[in-house]
Chains A and B, each alone.
Chain A
């Protein structure tokens, strides 16, 4: 029995490899420069190249936009093992993801768990077709780490909700088609119990956005304003006033994404970059202090990789890894921030260039600045440590 299954999986691997080799254009096997290279889909979908279009359309036809979702929602219906094989083979060939979508990584899992069948059929199907660009409306100017203190309100007006308020840090709100939002539907209840989860079409009258510029000089972030926005009642996900549990569930997925779990981008080893820049004697970096900082960084990077593998292996045997998402988010982002700090030290004055006639220069300084947001967005490092202390270590309040 088991041997048959293994043979089937081995066949699947060979078929997948062959299909990818035949269908993934060579330019789609090269690493992306940055987020401006991504394809996001949506109503006004724009491809950056003909190859990107071909790659997306072939994957769409293959139902591999979201290979592991149910076929009735347009997914590929792959088993966990098959999906792992597909991911491995794509990584092996360096294939880019055909689309970047918060609908797949964040909203989708929440819809699967909390939406009714009609909503699943409508929204999941659009996600697997790449038709909707989703953004997230969680934080507010006065509700950052204290997310549950949010004040954007949705009033029951009989046949619709009337939404007023504003959201901040809404990535790509100026380009997105829809937003999944946390809104307050009961001002008298304790703060966690008066929140609902609402989907809003960004084209609705009364919705406006304003971009936020970060210290990196550019950013996808926006403020989003809701001024008497009418939202149909069928856009409420789950029960009224029970949106907080959806929010927590979704945040678990966001943390894993920011923490880098499941990312396949190949980063060049820090020590190799260091060897391009720094003096050496007999193949060793002569700056002993920096050398040991690099060694500690690389030690923790590689053991963190083993840790992701171990916890995924344990999850396969039924161990619940959900509570560990705060660990992934905390550790992954702290590692990234310290890596960027080391990159700045290694690259010296080259790494400080902001603008230059050289097109490629300036990226390091901007990436460095951007990384400072990693330990803040998606719940600060301090929030994650608090969650670990309370939920995992059972320390008292």
Chain B
């Protein structure tokens, strides 16, 4: 399968680029942040739903477009360029992927249309510790006569504030991973929020004797581990697509700055010390482009080595985004560390994106493990 976009995918990318430049440029990110860290713009979210972006990865049987992750990845990349804030990643990439791949038809019928038309939002409640590690879930799902009792603490929940439901990852009595869909107004749930480095609002949950039924279980017995892995692989790849956009924007702005900024009577881009550093980043970015498209295609084709592709993508993009955002700051000089220019936004968001769904250390380790060393 060629590692290029087809005509329809290119058209989607172009239209996303045009739409976001018009409706959600980086300045909107600044406005939302300055307006008491507003998580996202509701009007923009409605428009995104109308553009069909929430339907791209939803199967036709739920009236979705079944257009695929290569397409969604182009949208996410363009959103990354503009640091666009919208719950597309949380509700569709995370929530949507879990539901689409669930065998619980009642839940699917009830929720997929609702998240696709933007009326409702789902947030994934997985992380519990300081670092990403899905193998160390301690939240419990204790069997009762009619269902389960959920107990535990969750954090780093993307768009968790005012989400309609949480996808809660827990361990059953048999120490099996299971996913439950829990209404956010459910008794026993306490939600708190905090703002992180990227000006994003992240929620923490306290689950205290939360009663759910068997019908709320998203993953069928013995399939929870696989479903969660698929959600996490999809998240790592889609987040890599967003990071690709951030890399393009931060790097592009930096190259433009090297071309115009003058010191010692010359444009600073003429100095070899900066030229070579910029050229080295160019090479790393060429690699990033390849693994992002390869991994997105892997999602659409159900690649056998999806674990490896997801870890390669998140590790490479994590390393490169760190380097690009650091070099972007340094090459901008003093202006780069002020809040007057946008380059700092990418630098900050890079660190949070790095932590979400595993940083490059996590994924390099996983990549080594997958190759048995």
List the interface of chain A (C-beta within 8 A of B): 269, 271, 274-275, 280, 283-285, 291-292, 294-296, 298-300, 302-304, 306-307, 309-311, 313-314, 316-317, 324, 327, 330-331, 382, 384-386, 388-390, 392-397
Contacts and interface: CB of A to CB of B under 8 A. Distances in A.
Interface stretch (B178-186, B284-292, B339-347): B284-292
B4 interface: yes
Interface residues of B, number: 38
Contacts of B372: 271, 275, 283
Contact of B373 (A284, A314, A394, A396): A284
Contact of B270 (A292, A314, A397): A397
Contact of A313 (B4, B270, B291): B4
Contact of B286 (A307, A316, A385, A393): A307
A311 B278 CA distance: 20
Interface of B: 2-4, 255, 258-259, 266-267, 269-270, 272, 274-276, 278-280, 282-283, 286-287, 289-291, 293-294, 312, 315-316, 361, 364-365, 367-369, 371-373
A395 B279 CA distance: 10
A395 B368 contact: no
B283 A330 contact: yes
Chain B contact residues: over half helix, strand or loop, or mixed? helix
B3 A385 contact: no
A298 B279 contact: no
Given A294-B368, A300-B287, A307-B286, 8 more contacts: A271-B372, A284-B369, A291-B373, A294-B373, A300-B316, A302-B312, A327-B282, A327-B286
B373 A310 contact: no
Given A274-B373, A284-B373, A388-B283, A299 B276 contact: no
Contacts of A316: 2
Contacts of B255: 393, 395
Contacts of B282: 327, 388, 392-393
A386 B2 contact: no
A306 B291 contact: yes
A306 B275 contact: no
A304 B287 contact: yes
15 contacts: A271-B372, A284-B369, A294-B368, A302-B312, A303-B291, A306-B294, A310-B3, A313-B3, A314-B3, A331-B283, A382-B276, A389-B278, A393-B275, A393-B278, A395-B275
Given A294-B373, A309-B3, A385-B276, A395 B290 contact: no
A71 B315 CA distance: 48
Contacts of B361: 292
B259 A271 contact: no
Contacts of A280: 373
A389 to B, nearest CB: 4
B289 A396 contact: no
Contacts of A313: 2-4
B90 to A, nearest CB: 28
